[in-house]
């Protein structure tokens, strides 16, 4: 039970309006699960703001609300408590609640396996005592505080997990929770980016070591982990160590018999030796058992009883769980929350249990929160994965480095598959034709939701209930973490994959889809776009220049690539060696390529471009036949295709039709003259949408793949834009009437006006002149830009809406029910949607 007055006293909060209910049965974070008796918790942190759900929670019947600002809706009949910071208030309340009970407190900390450790301890202690299992599903302070709702004086022990996410967390938490027993499972030196160094991260754990100095306190340390072993020298209270295979630990396992769904072991404790097994796999999880056994013997539980208790453990989703996959494959679901050390241990385990003839497939998604350590960490995993796994499938931009490192290590490029979405990862796994000889290990950080990959691979869909994150929690309403640059782009990769598939379905199977990814994939990110396009039905890529083609090759993309524009002869060596196709638009160029290719000792593939009415690059119809006559003689270049480009497929169907006829006639004549073309192509996005007449056997759309609309046309169903350009409000100020805003005093406030400053300017691609961006979205509403756009700042007038510093701003894309499209911005700027998206600076995080 939660008492309103306990909360009020502990949190130093204030009642808002008249109190109603004084006791609540539990907390509630999800407004949809709100009902009578519950206290709705509204959060406002750097990651989430759930205050706008208060009204819904009240409508659904909650009896109370705790929040930081006025609730902003009718609260009659509901007790409302306002506090400075909800999480802090609840932590103070947890401290208060714990203080009222005589329950012994056990805290589990460390970089990995905290949940299993807490579960194992609970299991062992429950053979004799009443144990309250605190936060099981989540490690944060909030869930810790919330889990005290059901604590009562009936319990002998409470087991809590502590996660430290920033410096000084541990000190604050031990002061609040005042533990009697503490465990540090291990310390992963590839730590969160919120710590300056491994040293600082380690140092934080010392707060627990220092706190547990009284003679009846107990500290359990992992003897096999260098960082925790070092703590022994500073520990003043009672300490017990745990370890595997290395003598010296108080409680030691050896003679491990790892299996696919259980682990056998021998145990040594005070000159006693016992054998047993437990249904856990992975070395990191065995330390959990050792910690539980140690606590058990310390509180008088016979070792045999404790060992027996550990043959049954509750099922924890997403932690090295064997599940039945399609076609008899075995899935190891480790999708809860990957860290570097736990990933390495999981790979070690795989290496140990694999049998001859088995195929090991390692599926890895991005690990979260690693900051500047991220690249190094993902690469290290790649090096180990190259040794253990037969096939590596990655999902996400950071995990792509796992694959890259494996290739650098000598792994066959075909054994490494890089994807950027759940859908694509599943498609790749389909392609691998899973069978009963496969073991598939699936790992990743919380944000990549790799449990969705597991779900797609399950033999029995009913097993989905065994997956992690199946319930809504605070996480499901949290905002994504923000990159360091103050303005950034969010790219909806699933939408891109979907768009490519929609276009692919418009085409007969014999027509090759050449995905145009020039100009950094129209500003969306070329490598990501190229990979997704290829996974979803593209057979060829097109870029504007050889540098772009080489960037794709560097990323390990092996599909054919056509350079649409000019390629200098000096680049022919690279083009030949890296299988890049070039465009020829006059005879001299063809001859130059021929000589260069001869020098390199290879053959250069090329397509000839005809100018059928665009007046840009290409051979004019009158010169075509004459030029082709000379091409026969060139032996070091290989003619692969012929193409033309439409100047107004979007706006001038008649002209396009004439271009089409000209092109068809020329192709017919050339064929009659003995030329063969593997590819004949003309259609850009607008032509693809217009008619199959323009398809030939290859099409080259760009724009529509990104969900953008050719002028005067409408998009087919299923195509959607994927780019959102965001920033946040830096400052909000009230200016008096007559006050200038921005350089040149071009805007003067007309009355008292509230002005918000945004950290984005023309250096980021937010145009200043001659016409500027007109509006942005904040809290779902449109607000006008005022004054001149600066290099990296601009101002908007927010007089009419409720805005505070830190609020998210959308420059391009959807927010709430409104949307600013590239087409609309193109109207403001007097340009096309193409220019709007391609002039957003490439250095902004995507």
Ligand X SMILES: *Cc1c(COP(=O)(O)O)cnc(C)c1O
Q: Are strands 747-748 and 740-741 parallel, antiparallel or unpaired?
A: antiparallel
Of 301 and 543, CB closest to ligand X: 543
Of 6 and 711, CB closest to ligand X: 711
Q: Are strands 79-82 and 14-16 parallel, antiparallel or unpaired?
A: antiparallel
Of 415 and 544, CB closest to ligand X: 544
Residues 518-557 that bind ligand X (CB under 6 A): 518
Closest separation between CB of residue 838 and ligand X, Å? 10
Distance between CA 286 and CA 69 in Å, rounded?
46
Instruction: Report yes or no: 500 and 532 within 8 Å, Cβ to Cβ.
Output: yes
Per rule CB under 6 A, is residue 319 in the interface with ligand X? no
Closest separation between CB of residue 39 and ligand X, Å? 54
Of 290 and 513, CB closest to ligand X: 513
* 376 assigned to active site: no
H-type helices in 327-448, by residue range? 340-353, 374-388, 400-408, 422-431
Q: Which residue is nearest to ligand X (CB)?
A: 702
Residues 558-577 that bind ligand X (CB under 6 A): 564
Ramachandran sector of residue 707 (left: φ over 0; alpha: ψ -120 to 50; beta: rest): left
Closest separation between CB of residue 555 and ligand X, Å? 21
- Is the preceding omega at residue 770 within 30 degrees of 0, hence cis? yes
Q: Are strands 487-491 and 723-728 parallel, antiparallel or unpaired?
A: antiparallel
Catalytic residue among 5, 273, 433, 743: 743
Of 404 and 518, CB closest to ligand X: 518
Of 443 and 518, CB closest to ligand X: 518
Distance between CA 399 and CA 378 in Å, rounded?
6
Distance between CA 631 and CA 586 in Å, rounded?
10
Closest C-alpha to 753, from 803, 798, 804, 801: 798
Closest C-alpha to 223, from 196, 200, 254: 254
Distance between CA 355 and CA 162 in Å, rounded?
38
With CB under 6 A as the rule, give the number of residues binding ligand X: 10
Rounded to the nearest 5°, which phi and psi values hold at 199? -60, -45
In sequence order, the 6+-apart residues with CB closer than 8 A to the CB of 664 are none
Distance between CA 468 and CA 445 in Å, rounded?
12
Closest separation between CB of residue 707 and ligand X, Å? 12
Of 209 and 715, CB closest to ligand X: 715
Q: 508: burial class by Cβ within 10 Å (0-12, 13-18, 19+)?
A: exposed
Instruction: Report yes or no: 655 and 621 within 8 Å, Cβ to Cβ.
Output: no
Closest separation between CB of residue 618 and ligand X, Å? 9
Closest separation between CB of residue 394 and ligand X, Å? 29
The DSSP 8-state label assigned to residue 821 in this structure reads -
Task: Give the SS3 label for residue 710.
Answer: coil
What's the token pair of residue 581?
Answer: 């196709």
Closest separation between CB of residue 550 and ligand X, Å? 18
Of 93 and 585, CB closest to ligand X: 585
Residues 665-704 that bind ligand X (CB under 6 A): 684-685, 700-703
Task: Give the SS3 label for residue 355.
Answer: coil
Closest separation between CB of residue 650 and ligand X, Å? 8
Residues 461-500 that bind ligand X (CB under 6 A): none
Closest separation between CB of residue 150 and ligand X, Å? 59
Closest separation between CB of residue 708 and ligand X, Å? 8
In the shown chain, the binding pattern of residues 227 to 246 toward ligand X, with x for contact by CB under 6 A and - for none, equals --------------------
- Burial per residue of 114-124, b for 16 or more beta-carbon CB atoms within 10 angstroms, e otherwise: bbbbbbbbbbb
Closest separation between CB of residue 321 and ligand X, Å? 46
Residue choice 81, 309, 346, 516 for contact with ligand X (CB under 6 A): 516
Of 174 and 516, CB closest to ligand X: 516
Distance between CA 486 and CA 482 in Å, rounded?
9
Residues 619-658 that bind ligand X (CB under 6 A): 645
Distance between CA 670 and CA 92 in Å, rounded?
83
Ramachandran sector of residue 104 (left: φ over 0; alpha: ψ -120 to 50; beta: rest): beta
Distance between CA 649 and CA 672 in Å, rounded?
28
Closest C-alpha to 424, from 494, 506, 356, 325: 494
Contacts by residues 396-400 (CB-CB < 8 Å, ≥ 24 positions apart): 396/365, 396/366, 396/420, 396/444, 396/448, 397/366, 397/528, 398/366, 398/367, 398/370, 398/374, 399/364, 399/365, 399/366, 399/367, 399/444, 399/448, 400/527, 400/555
Give CA separation, 774 vs 112, 504, 657, 789, 794, in Å.
Answer: 49, 36, 38, 11, 11
* 433 assigned to active site: no
Distance between CA 28 and CA 146 in Å, rounded?
9
Closest separation between CB of residue 826 and ligand X, Å? 14
In sequence order, the 6+-apart residues with CB closer than 8 A to the CB of 244 are 224, 252, 253, 254, 256, 283, 286, 287, 290
Of 416 and 703, CB closest to ligand X: 703
Catalytic residue among 161, 518, 609, 793: 518
Instruction: Report yes or no: 795 and 748 within 8 Å, Cβ to Cβ.
Output: no
Of 142 and 564, CB closest to ligand X: 564
Closest C-alpha to 65, from 84, 52, 46, 78: 78
Closest separation between CB of residue 685 and ligand X, Å? 3
Distance between CA 212 and CA 612 in Å, rounded?
82
Of 163 and 640, CB closest to ligand X: 640
Of 656 and 684, CB closest to ligand X: 684
Active site residues: 518, 743
Which residues of this protein are in contact with ligand X, per CB under 6 A?
Answer: 516, 518, 564, 645, 684-685, 700-703
């Amino acid at each position: 039970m939660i008492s309103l007055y306990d909360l009020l006293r502990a949190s130093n909060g204030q009642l808002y309006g008249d109190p109603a209910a004084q006791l609540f049965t539990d907390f509630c974070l999800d407004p949809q699960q709100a009902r009578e008796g519950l206290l709705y918790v509204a959060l406002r942190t750097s990651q989430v703001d759930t205050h706008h759900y208060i009204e819904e929670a009240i409508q659904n019947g909650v009896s109370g609300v705790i929040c930081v600002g006025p609730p902003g809706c009718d609260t009659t009949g509901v007790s409302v408590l306002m506090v400075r910071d909800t999480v802090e208030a609840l932590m103070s309340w947890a401290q208060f609640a714990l203080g009222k009970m005589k329950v012994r407190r056990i805290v589990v900390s460390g970089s990995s396996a905290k949940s299993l450790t807490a579960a194992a301890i609970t299991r062992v202690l429950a053979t004799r005592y009443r144990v309250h299992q605190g936060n099981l599903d989540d490690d944060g302070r909030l869930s810790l505080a919330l889990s005290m709702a059901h604590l009562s004086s009936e319990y002998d022990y409470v087991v809590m997990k502590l996660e430290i996410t920033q410096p000084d967390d541990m000190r604050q938490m031990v002061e609040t929770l005042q533990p009697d027993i503490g465990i540090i499972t291990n310390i992963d030196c590839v730590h969160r980016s919120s710590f300056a160094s491994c040293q600082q991260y380690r140092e934080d754990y010392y707060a627990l070591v220092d706190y547990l100095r009284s003679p009846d306190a107990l500290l359990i340390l992992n003897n096999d982990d260098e960082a925790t072993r070092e703590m022994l020298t500073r520990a003043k209270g009672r300490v017990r160590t745990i370890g595997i295979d290395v003598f010296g630990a108080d409680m030691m396992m050896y003679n491990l018999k790892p299996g696919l769904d259980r682990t056998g072991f021998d145990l040594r404790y005070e000159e006693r030796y016992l054998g047993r097994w437990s249904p856990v796999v992975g070395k990191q999880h065995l330390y959990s058992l050792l910690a539980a056994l140690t606590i058990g013997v310390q509180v008088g539980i016979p070792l045999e009883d404790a060992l027996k208790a550990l043959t049954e453990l509750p099922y924890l989703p997403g932690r090295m769980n064997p599940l039945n996959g399609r076609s008899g494959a075995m899935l190891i679901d480790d999708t809860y929350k990957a860290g570097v050390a736990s990933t390495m241990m999981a790979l070690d385990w795989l290496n140990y249990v694999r049998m001859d003839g088995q195929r090991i497939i390692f599926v890895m998604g991005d690990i979260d929160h690693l900051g500047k350590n991220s690249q190094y960490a993902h690469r290290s995993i790649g090096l180990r994965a190259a040794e253990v796994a037969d096939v590596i499938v990655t999902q996400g931009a950071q995990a792509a480095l796992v694959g890259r490192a494996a290739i650098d290590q000598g792994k066959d490029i075909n054994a490494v598959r890089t994807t950027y979405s759940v859908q694509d990862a599943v498609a790749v796994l389909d392609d691998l034709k899973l069978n009963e000889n496969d073991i598939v290990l699936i790992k990743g950080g919380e944000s990549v939701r790799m449990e969705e990959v597991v779900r797609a691979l399950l033999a029995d869909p009913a097993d989905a209930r065994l997956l992690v994150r199946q319930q809504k929690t605070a996480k499901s309403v949290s905002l994504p973490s923000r990159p360091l640059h103050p303005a950034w782009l969010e790219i909806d990769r699933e939408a891109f994959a979907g768009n490519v598939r929609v276009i692919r379905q418009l085409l007969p199977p014999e027509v090759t889809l050449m995905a145009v990814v020039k100009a950094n994939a129209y500003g969306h990110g070329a490598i990501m776009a190229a990979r997704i396009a290829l996974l979803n039905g593209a057979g060829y890529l097109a870029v504007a220049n050889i540098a772009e083609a080489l960037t794709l090759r560097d990323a390990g993309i092996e599909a054919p690539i056509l350079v649409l524009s000019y390629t200098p002869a000096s680049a022919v060596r690279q083009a030949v060696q890296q299988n890049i196709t070039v465009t020829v638009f006059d005879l001299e160029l063809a001859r130059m390529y021929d000589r260069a290719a001869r020098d390199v000792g290879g053959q250069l593939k090329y397509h000839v471009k005809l100018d059928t009415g665009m007046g840009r690059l290409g051979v004019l119809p009158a010169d075509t036949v004459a030029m082709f006559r000379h091409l026969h003689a060139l032996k070091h270049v290989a003619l692969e295709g012929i193409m033309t480009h439409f100047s107004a497929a979007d706006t001038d169907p008649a002209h396009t039709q004439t271009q089409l006829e000209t092109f068809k006639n020329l192709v017919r004549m050339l064929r009659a003259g003995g030329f063969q073309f593997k590819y004949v192509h003309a259609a850009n996005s607008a032509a693809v949408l217009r008619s199959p007449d323009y398809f030939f056997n290859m099409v080259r759309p760009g724009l529509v793949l990104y969900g953008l609309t050719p002028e005067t046309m409408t998009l087919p169903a299923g195509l959607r834009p994927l780019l959102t350009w965001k920033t946040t409000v830096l400052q909000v100020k009230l200016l008096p009437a007559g006050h200038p805003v921005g350089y040149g005093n071009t805007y003067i406030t007309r009355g008292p006006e509230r002005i918000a400053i945004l950290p984005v300017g023309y250096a980021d691609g937010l145009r200043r002149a001659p016409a500027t961006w007109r509006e942005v979205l904040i809290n779902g509403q449109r607000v006008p830009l005022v004054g001149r756009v600066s290099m990296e700042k601009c101002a908007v007038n927010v007089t009419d809406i409720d805005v505070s510093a830190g609020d998210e701003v959308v420059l391009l894309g959807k927010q709430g029910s409104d949307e600013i499209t590239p087409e609309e911005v193109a109207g403001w700027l007097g340009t096309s949607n193409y220019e709007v998206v391609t002039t957003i600076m490439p250095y902004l995080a995507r």
